[in-house]
Structure 1
Amino acid sequence: MLERSPSQAIEADAAGPDIFRRRVLFVVLFAFTMAGSLALAALALTPGGFDTIDIALLALFAVTLPWMVAGFWNAVIGFLIMRFAADPIAAIMPTAARIRGDEPVTVSTAILLCIRNELPERMIRNLEPMLAGLDTAACGERFVLYALSDTSDARIAASEEACFAALAARWRGRVAIIYRRRTVNTAYKAGNIREFCERWGGQHEFAVTLDADSFMTADAVLRLVRIMQADPRLGILQGLIVGLPSTSAFARVFQFGMRLGMRSYTVGSAWWQGDCGPYWGHNAVLRLKPFIAHCALPVLSRDGVEDCHILSHDQIEAALMRAAGYDVRVLPQEDLGWEENPPTLLEFIRRDLRWCQGNMQYWQFLGLPGLKPVSRYQLVLAILMFIGSPAWIGLLVLGTLAVAYSDTPASFMRADAGMALFVCVLVMWFAPKIASAIDILLHPKLRRGFGGAGLFSVNFVIETLYSILLCPILWFGHTIFLAGLLFGREIGWIGQTRDDHAVPFTLALHNLWPHTLLGCLALGLLATTQPAAIPYALFLAGGPALAIPFAVMSAWPWLGNFAARIGIGRLPEETERPAALMVLALPAIEAAAPSRQPSAV
């Protein structure tokens, strides 16, 4: 059992009732919003009586609701904290607010870089500034970097070995570096880290987890480690992750929206989830002793015979750590870590489907003894994130057919309740981004970081249209993939293509023709029967109908470079040009040079 000092026990006892009240408040808000939304939907469907089609539509809508409702209230809570708390970090995580930054680092920490079929030069580019910062802070002897390779490509493996040998030679005597390669990718990334734990885990108190595309500064690593040192209850401390500036048009707009959505959502969820927070698998710090003892993942079975390993390991590890009596928390600061986003729609879909397959394994853990209620909620929500996709597509298909074969749209849905429901759905869908956008526009320093109110507003509109196109494309992709899972289709763990590249029309056609067919059939049917319904149907059918040109055009290299120059998708790092990122020589930051930036207001 976890031992605590008297002062820590008093603090925990005081925090217990407070966090319980927060969770009760969230549950009440969530339940009432769910009930109200379903009641409004039922009212909207009352014309002509309530038949089997209406019941099916209501059931599908109910499946899509939890993710939107949770996002809405997390955003509202996050906005209130960001705007009105004297110290938002203290409101979420008091221990972090008390860290000055000059506390001595006394523990041994392993830095775990998990890689598979990636270009080693880029990873080393991201690692060396962190190593230099640790050395400058006179903390290098407290850290050991482990490059944990699962690379299967012999050519890349040879390059990896040579590059990390050279890196180890450059840093000998300052920061120790160990390279290890497994020949078999058993249990994916979780198995890679577990093998480290069995071999070297007893030599260190903490481990910082990094992905191949991660970038963390030494200051960020030291801050997280100092917080972990100060609170022995902490088992996992997750830092907020934002996107590295990119010259891909697809990634630029995505990372702009991600920055907005993650900010308010994470602040709000951290306020009520408290010690039962998320773990995203990288840019985080683990306490190794309880992680080794309690977070080993079971081997599942496929059809009761063949072994099956967990693909999305992080949320299960967080749930197991919390069940063991240790806290899992997220620190929602935007300077704690970056990652590279996929440069094209097709690469994004490939990564997304891997997450989809992994999250579908969570259902087997919902009944695991000892899990906290919030942990079970997180697992259910992670499943619903992808189960909601076929529900959205079902709403599109069934709703289109129902409207098309009605005498008039009014005989299918009440105009007043239908419009109110439509507005509510849009508000809940975009609430995290709206909340962050309002906070940024009201905050002069943040506003200037995004290039000023004018440029920020233009980018917000572009990102909104982008999301309206992107989300239904992903939803239909999930639907196809989930149907394939029922027949044994799976996706492996392969390297990501991270460099900007064009997407040929033929490749987009090969991958996205089903999406295009769905969207065009839905819009075509409405055009010949109920054209007045087309503007509403575009929110679900427009993206799939335009999937092929969207994939091709958003990958044009010249468009990405042009967007970076004029500020489309601009991030604060491109305006303020922090020294930590300047050493990476990112083309996006170079393109957004001060001489090219507009006046920030």
Structure 2
Amino acid sequence: MTSNAAAIAGGLDYLDDPLVPPERPLLMPVQSSTRSSRRMGRARPRPDTGTLVSRLFVATTTFALTAIATYEMINVVAVTEVSWLQGVFAALFAVTFLWIALPCASAMLGFLHLVRKSGREPPQLSPGPLGRNVLVMPVYNEDPTRTCLALEAMGRDLDANGAADNFEIFILSDTRDEAIARQEEIAIRNLRRALGPDLTVYYRRRALNTGRKAGNIADFVRRWGGRYDHMVVLDADSMMSAETLIYLARAMALDPRAGIIQTVPMLAGRSTLFARMQQFATRIYGPIIAEGLAAWHGRESNFWGHNAIIRTRAFAQSAGLPELSGRKPFGGHIMSHDFVEAALMVRAGWSVYMVPELKGSYEECPPSLIDLAGRDRRWAQGNLQHIKVIGAKKLALMSRIHLLVGIMSYLASPLWLAMIAIGLALATQAHFTHPDYFPEGFNLFPRWPVFDSERALQLFTFTMGVLLLPKVLGVLAALLNPAERQACGGGLAVVLGMVAETLLSALIAPVMMLLQTRWVMEIVMGRDSGWNAQRRDDGSLPFSTIFGNHYGQMLFGAVMAAAAYTVSVDTFLWLSPVTIGLVLAPLLSWLTAQVSAGIAFRRARLFLIPEEVPAQA
């Protein structure tokens, strides 16, 4: 057993191990929710005129779309006067519609920005120093061969671009499996030999994984943060080109107020149908979404936890995470730490922004719906924890909005389900309750129940337009860019891919609604998500495994469809977009988890992305 392995077995981290450098500690104080750590003499940067105009556009468009849709909904459900149940239904509709109107407005803004630009290349930077940088990769029970191959590719790319002297690699392990830990040390030593003396590789495995990933990063900063001007935080499935890494280092060195510069990672490297669908969506819709977010977030943007560069001293001064009061799942260590770290750095006067034009930043996506659900459970708990953070003192308004959007991204599902349940109750009431044509008091004419079917159809069309507009604008932007269009297989492949992706997403959406509702209920009841390693392989899942995870949604959908049919055929048809996806959940999840299905779609030239189009020739 090597000295490092022996130290781990004994529960200690030895500082004289050859796999770690001498410590250069930085103080990283825990931040308070009642007072700010803003730097002396540095006020929070004010948004420029363009950012303010963008925010006004997004806010006005979002609330205007929601107001129009809610007004139409009230008129659709009104029967002479609005009952309390109809009022609740309309209120739930307004809240849920708001969260589809916001991304629509942001995508509209992003499309306007994108078509106004001459190209998608990032702005050119003046020659200058890169500073001392480190690629930080936290790992937890990951396949060491996969992670080290990615790091080797990045290291060789940096060396080929003459930047190896400005970068080091530091793998931060929280692995609990001793067999994987032994493989990690072997893989790290092989990586060091492969990269040679030009690019240094370090490795540290913690004895205690306190604070999970955020605690892993904080431990690194407190022990070795003083060695580096900037750190590029990676996930175990991250890949970044040397050009992108050099750009980020130079941009950070040239911008003394920058605290975090975030890239927009593209999804790539998977073969299942589910993964290919996500890869296509991020490639076609992602650019306008990223452009829109960058425009109205400005220099008070968000941090997604990886594929970004961070000013190390600013992070140490500003982003020490407190423990939340109370018991898990709402209390304890902050799980979705990235949103909070960005908010704390903005509060302290540092700028956080993204460069949407910057290419060469990649990550992998979950290969199946079941894998996405497992990851989503942790994200749900992490985002709902932010209920305890959103009221912290002196946070920027934009930071509070980021936290609120994350919270609502999971609360929207139970609200959507509640709206469906109330809608079914209203339909049942209308069908089985005898109408009172002549209520008490003088009435010259009967009071007929009113249901404006034409208005209902108009509202449905309007809602579908708001849902689909970001996709249509993304496709239009790709079609207007010849290089992008050809890189994704041509115009017809892009359009047909959007149609196929929309249909599959519509079927999957009700399944995710039920899953996220379940997550929220479990979290409210006090159930912690735990911390499990993600499945990184691209293998298909057997039907028995998938059926065991989805039979509950299938039964729920069948019962809902039967209840709706009992009420009326119209009610059955109204709920069919939801019930079809639920009834087909096992089959849909199994089909989309198959590599063979992904290959079949690729042969049909659907869901193509630039990395694989040359292989089609």
On whether the aligned pair clears a TM of 0.5, the verdict is yes
In the alignment, the residues of structure 2 paired with residue 326 and residue 314 of structure 1 have an alpha-carbon distance, to the nearest angstrom, of 15
Q: Is the 8 A contact 1:71 1:428 kept in 2?
A: no
Q: Distance in 1 between matches of 2:102 and 2:330?
A: 37
Do the aligned residues in 2 keep the contact of 1:248 with 1:561 (CA within 8 Å)? yes
Picking from 75, 86, 97, the partner of 2:123 is: 97
Q: 1:543 aligns with which of 581, 590, 600?
A: 581
Residue 379 of structure 1 aligns with which residue? 403
Alignment correspondent of 1:594: 616
Question: Which range moves more in the overlay, 451-460 or 539-548?
Answer: 539-548
Per the alignment, do residues 411 and 433 of structure 1 end up closer, same or farther by CA in structure 2, a change over 3 Å counting? Answer: farther
2:597 pairs, out of 534, 559, 566, with 559
**1:360-399 mapped onto 2 (5 Å cutoff):** 360-399=384-423
Between the aligned partners of 1:342 and 1:305, the Cα distance in structure 2 is 24
Tell me how far 1:199 sits from its aligned partner. Answer: 0.6
CA separation of 1:88 and 1:32: change in aligned 2, threshold 3 A: farther
**1:326-365 superposed Cα distances (whole Å, 9 cap, x missing partner):** 1110111362311111111101110111111100011111
Matches within 5 A, 1:64-75: 64-75=96-107
After superposition, residues 251-330 of structure 1 pair within 5 angstroms as 251-303=275-327, 308-330=332-354
- What is the CA–CA distance in structure 1 between the aligned matches of 2:284 and 2:574, rounded to whole Å? 25
User: What's the counterpart of residue 371 of structure 2?
Assistant: 347
Matches of 1:411 and 1:395 in 2, distance apart? 22
1:506 aligns with 2:544: yes
Q: Which residue of 1 aligns with 2:170?
A: 146
The aligned counterpart of 1:85 is: 117
Q: Secondary structure at the match of 1:302?
A: coil
Query: 2: CA distance between counterparts of 1:186 and 1:257?
Result: 36
| Cα deviation 1:160-190 (Å, max 9, x = unaligned) | 1110111112223111110111132211111
The equivalent position to 1:49 in structure 2, one of 81, 103, 125, is 81
Query: What is the letter of the counterpart of residue 56 of structure 1?
Result: V
Match of 2:506 among 445, 459, 468: 468
Match of 1:424 among 444, 462, 467: 462
* Pair 1:25-2:76 in alignment: no
Contact 1:251 1:341 in 2 (8 A): yes
Q: Give the Cα separation in 2 of the matches to 1:432 and 1:218.
A: 31
When normalised by structure 1's length, the TM-score is: 0.89
Give the deviation of 1:521 after TM superposition.
1.6
Which residue of the partner structure matches residue 587 of structure 1? Answer: none
Matched, 1:440 2:475: no
Aligned to 2:68: 36
Let me know the Cα RMSD of the aligned residues. Answer: 2.4
More helix by share: 1
Alignment CA distance shift 1:536-1:264 (3 Å): farther
Which of 388-397 and 71-80 deviates more? 388-397
> Match of 2:233, SS?
strand
Within the candidate set 499, 520, 527, 1:482 is matched to 520
Cα deviation for residue 104 of structure 1 reads 4.1
Match of 2:252 among 225, 228, 237: 228
Percent identity for Structure 1 against Structure 2:
30
- Worse-matched range after superposition: 148-157 or 303-312: 303-312
Identify unmatched segments of 5+ residues in structure 1.
90-95, 577-592, 596-601
Matches of 1:324 and 1:220, distance apart in 2? 27
Kindly state the Cα deviation for residue 480 of structure 1 after the two structures are TM-superposed: 0.8
Instruction: For 1:438 and 1:388, locate their aligned partners in 2 and report how far apart those are by CA, in whole Å.
Output: 29
Deviations 1:298-345 (A, max 9, x none): 111334999611111111111111111111101113623111111111
What's the CA shift string for 1:266-322, capped at 9, x where partnerless? 211211210111110000000111100110111113349996111111111111111
Residue 458 in structure 1 maps to residue 496 in structure 2: yes
Contact kept, 8 Å, 2:329 with 2:526, in 1: the verdict is no
Match of 1:337 among 361, 383, 387: 361
Task: Mark the CA change 1:313 to 1:417 in structure 2 (over 3 Å): closer, same or farther.
Answer: same
Structure 2: distance between partners of 1:85 and 1:106: 27
Q: Distance in 2 between matches of 1:287 and 1:274?
A: 18
Q: Residue by residue, what CA displacement relative to the aligned partner does 1:218-260 show, whole Å, maximum 9, x if unpaired?
A: 1111111111111111110000111114211111112212333
8 Å CA contact retained: 1:312, 1:355: yes
1:408 CA displacement: 9.6
Is 2:87 the counterpart of 1:61? Answer: no
Q: TM-score, normalised by structure 2?
A: 0.87
Give the Å deviation of 1:462.
Answer: 0.7
8 Å Cα contact 1:151/1:183 also seen in 2: no
Which stretch of structure 1 is more off in the superposition, 15-24 or 162-171? 15-24
Change (3 A) 1:433 1:135: same
| 2:5 paired residue number | none
Q: Which amino acid aligns with 1:515?
A: Q
* Cα offset, 1:543, TM superposition: 1.8
| Contact 1:214-1:339 within 8 A present in 2 as well | yes
Separation of aligned partners in 2, 1:377 and 1:563: 38
Cα distance in 1, alignment partners of residues 366 and 157 from structure 2 = 28
Worse overlay, 397-406 or 546-555: 397-406
Which letter does structure 2 place at the counterpart of 1:379? Answer: L
Aligned partners of 2:40 and 2:377: how far apart in 1? Answer: 41
- In structure 2, how many angstroms separate the alpha carbons of the residues matched to 1:18 and 1:338? 29
SS in 2 for 1:145: strand
